[in-house]
A and B are shown apart, each in its own frame.
Chain A
Amino acid sequence: KPAKPGMAGAAGPLVRPCPGRIRHFKV
């Protein structure tokens, strides 16, 4: 259900399926 202006967003962590985790360091 789309949020209406002024309404708080859904709680909880943002799901980011990709890209995945960085294992060493980002170049």
Chain B
Amino acid sequence: VPLGGGMTFRQPNCDDPETEQVAGVAMNYINDNLFQSYKVILNQIDKVKVWNRRPNGEVYELELDTLETTCHALDPTPVENCTVRQVAEHAVEGDCDVQVLKQNGQFTVLTARCDSNPDSAEDVRKVCPNCPLLAQTNDTSVVVAVEKALAAFNAQSNGSYYQLVETSRGQVVPVPPYTYVEFVVAATDCVAKEVTDPAVCKLLAEKQYGFCKGTHIQRLGGEDVKVSCTMFQTQPPAAGSKAGGPGPVVDVAAPTSSPANPAPAAVV
């Protein structure tokens, strides 16, 4: 309530360097505090208001449009190096409301709230009539594909047994019929070759996450499963932030990377 004219705000342009700087601070905060789904990148600044704050400082209120990248939230790759998920892959947009305090030249994110939505089927169809749409992560085909892909990964693991942490996305392709999935796994205290009851396996205190892509083809004569996983550097037990984490490491079971292509992936 504007008592005595104390509550005043200004509205700089959305593309002002000042506004973009604050949006950048907010985007870093959002990605640093994202532990599931995919990293996001700024697409458009929708609105900005700057409130005077007593006794000093200013509070920026921003509405930001974001787009999903193909880097998982746990992937240590800097978001600047991540690819924006294209419309043909069924892009996902986000709307974020953020409040950032600027005081003595320092920025502090006060609040950040984001909601995300996949692009409409019509928009995807306009760009790519035959591209598969995003399926629900609890879709039966997606669930089966993740289970099969994880089982295939564990069958070839020479170390830990890996548990499913998150099904990140799934697409059911009609022709030729197959299901594509992306999911997150984490190492447990069980040895993959010796596990008899996966239910008793517990995640390691030092979390080691991996991001997997898999396909499952169900045929009359059998099935075909493909999976490849990128294992990330272990995270200390009390890790509350992903900042400062080193890059992905090569799994001991992985083939040696060639010097020309030092891919950090552990691929099975």
Residues of B within 8 A of A22 (CB): 43-44
Question: How far, in angstroms, from A20 to B13 measured CA to CA in the complex?
Answer: 8
Please determine whether B119 and A19 come into contact, CB atoms closer than 8 angstroms: no
B contact residues around A21 at 8 Å (CB): 15, 44
Whether A18 pairs with B46 at a CB distance below 8 angstroms is yes
Which residues of B are found within 8 Å of A20, using beta-carbon distances? 13-15, 19-20, 44-46
Taken together as a complex, chains A and B put the C-alpha atoms of A17 and B20 apart, in Å, by 13
Give Cα distance in the complex from A19 to B46, angstroms.
4
Q: Does residue A24 face the partner (Cβ distance < 8 Å to B)?
A: yes
Q: Are A24 and B15 in contact (CB under 8 A)?
A: no
User: Is A17 in contact with B13, judged by CB distance below 8 angstroms?
Assistant: yes
Whole-angstrom distance between the Cβ of B43 and the nearest chain A Cβ: 5
Residues on the B chain within 8 Å of A26, using CB: 43-44
Majority SS at the chain B contact face: strand
Min Cβ gap A12→B in Å is: 16
Output the residue of B44, B45, B84 with the most chain A CB within 10 A: B44
CB-CB nearest in chain A for B118: A27
Task: Please state if A27 and B19 are interface contacts (CB–CB under 8 Å).
Answer: no
- How many chain B residues touch A (Cβ–Cβ < 8 Å)? 24
For chain A, the count of residues having a C-beta within 8 Å of the partner chain is 11
Give the distance in Å from the alpha carbon of A23 to the alpha carbon of B41 in the complex: 10
Which residues does chain B contribute within 8 Å of A23, judged by CB atoms? 41-44
Give every chain A residue within 8 A of B15 (Cβ-Cβ): 20-21
The answer to whether B182 has its CB under 8 Å from any CB of chain A is: no
State in angstroms the CA–CA spacing of A25 and B84 once bound together: 10
Expressed in whole angstroms, the Cα–Cα distance for A1 and B224 within the complex equals 73
Q: Is the CB of B11 within 8 A of A24?
A: no
Q: Which residue of A lies closest to B127 (CB)?
A: A25
The answer on a CB contact under 8 Å between A27 and B14 is no
Q: CB within 8 Å of A: which residues of B?
A: 11-15, 19-20, 41-48, 65, 67, 84, 87, 91-93, 119, 123
Complex A-B: 21 CB contacts under 8 Å: A17-B11, A17-B12, A17-B14, A18-B11, A18-B13, A18-B45, A18-B47, A18-B48, A19-B65, A20-B13, A20-B14, A20-B19, A20-B20, A20-B45, A24-B43, A24-B84, A25-B87, A27-B87, A27-B92, A27-B93, A27-B123
With A20-B46, A27-B119 given, name 12 new contacts (CB 8 A): A18-B11, A18-B14, A18-B48, A19-B14, A19-B45, A19-B47, A20-B45, A23-B44, A25-B67, A25-B87, A25-B91, A27-B123
Q: Which 5 pairs show the lowest CB-CB distances between chains A and B?
A: A20-B14, A27-B93, A20-B45, A18-B14, A17-B13
